[in-house]
Amino acid sequence: MSAQPRMPIESGVPDAFQYMHPALRRNYGQWAWHDRPRPGVLHHVAETGEEVWTVRAGTQRQLDVYTIRKLCDIADQHAEGHVRFTIRSNIEFIVSSAGKVDPLIAVLEEAGFPVGGTGNSVSMIAHTQGFLHCDIPATDASGVVKSLMDELYEEYTNERMPNRVRITTSCCQINCGGQGDIAINIQHTKPPRINHDLVGNICERPSVVARCPVAAIRPAVVNGKPSLEVDERKCICCGACYPPCPPMQINDPENSKLAIWVGGKNSNARTKPTLHKLVAAGLPNNPPRWPEVGAVVKKILKIYQEDARDWERMSEWVDRIGWSRFFELTELPFTRYHIDNWRGARQTLNSSTHIRF
């Protein structure tokens, strides 16, 4: 028998239609209108008159197999066997009759999954891979998320913000969490400490030198071995040299802090996308509950809730009142470190989602 050629393993996103609720498949692109009967429930009516209800619940995002089984059992027994996840790790159950909605909500809440996250609520926090999958995190992003969402539970299950609030968390300054109305990101405050014994064996030195955005790294010979050195007056503590060269250790329990950024927005709705701006720096990276971060986030949310006009996103609110008023209202200290005087960026960076060639 001739050997069979080994076929490539296709990876990437599978075709979503095969998993879709049949009513969604039948009416794809043919919806007439929709509304929200209550927080956490979406109601869509198709051109044909067919109706579907979607019940949205929060999950812990990094799901163990037992929780996934539990959610699938709920889908089989109390919904119609179809679920989907939103990009913020909310799970959605789709049912084709209004009578199934309340019993499903009761079962979800009984099992500890809050129903909400729609409309003008604080939806689930998008967070980065952290300790589970990434090799460079300086904090446990999912832990920060868990502690914060425990405190923002009522804002998830109610829609009482001026507009939707999207929070993100990133466990290093690469910021996989993306732009958020409020972003909680790690901030390194000291240049990397170099283990010179390992650099020559592990790191491709020219790549590491090329990686530094401010040209602070130079090749060097230390103790007779090829290594690197950092000009600490130039280093901006970004951490970019650490992924290609782990001996340039930048994570540190004392000096890796958390920073809070405000006013980022990915969507093109009403106003163009915006980059979030630093508002609080040097907060302690304080597991397991990160109380200092929670206090600042809750304060910003409270002021936004009280002061923003209806339908103003965080960035639009700050644009209207101005940053000085923002710092006044939130009582966050404004320091010289908040002023971005770096001249290396183009004026707009990638603040538009349009593709440019």
Chain residues in the site for ligand SF4 (CB under 6 A) = 128-130, 134, 136-137, 170-172, 174-176, 191-192, 211-212, 214, 216-217, 230, 235-241, 250
At 147, which helix (H) or strand (E)? helix 141-151
Nearer to ligand SF4, 40 or 192 (CB): 192
At 212, which helix (H) or strand (E)? none
CB of 355 to ligand SF4, least distance (A): 23
Nearer to ligand SF4, 171 or 199 (CB): 171
> What separation in angstroms does the CA of 261 have from each of 37, 120, 228, 253?
33, 20, 33, 21
Q: What is the b/e burial string over 61-97, where b = at least 16 CB atoms within 10 angstroms of the residue's CB?
A: bbeeeebeeebeebbeebbbebbeeeebbbbbbbbee
> What separation in angstroms does the CA of 313 have from each of 166, 263, 272, 330, 352?
10, 8, 12, 17, 17
CB of 206 to ligand SF4, least distance (A): 14
CA distance 218 to 209: 6
CB of 326 to ligand SF4, least distance (A): 26
Nearer to ligand SF4, 191 or 264 (CB): 191
CB of 117 to ligand SF4, least distance (A): 22
Nearer to ligand SF4, 41 or 126 (CB): 126
Nearer to ligand SF4, 111 or 210 (CB): 210
Contact assessment for residue 222 and residue 236, using Cβ atoms and an 8 Å cutoff: no
Nearer to ligand SF4, 207 or 335 (CB): 207
CB of 232 to ligand SF4, least distance (A): 8
Nearer to ligand SF4, 129 or 305 (CB): 129
Q: Helix 65-78 to helix 101-110 angle, to the nearest 10 degrees? A: 160
> What separation in angstroms does the CA of 356 have from each of 181, 195, 272, 349, 350?
25, 41, 15, 12, 10
Nearer to ligand SF4, 238 or 279 (CB): 238
- Taking alpha carbons only, the member of 241, 237, 264, 258 closest to residue 350 is 264
Q: How does strand 167-170 pair with strand 182-188?
A: parallel
CB of 44 to ligand SF4, least distance (A): 34
Contact assessment for residue 196 and residue 221, using Cβ atoms and an 8 Å cutoff: no
CA distance 318 to 134: 34
Q: How many residues does the chain have?
A: 357
CA distance 294 to 252: 21
CB of 281 to ligand SF4, least distance (A): 16
> Token pair for residue 338?
């908040």
CB of 195 to ligand SF4, least distance (A): 14
Nearer to ligand SF4, 123 or 256 (CB): 256
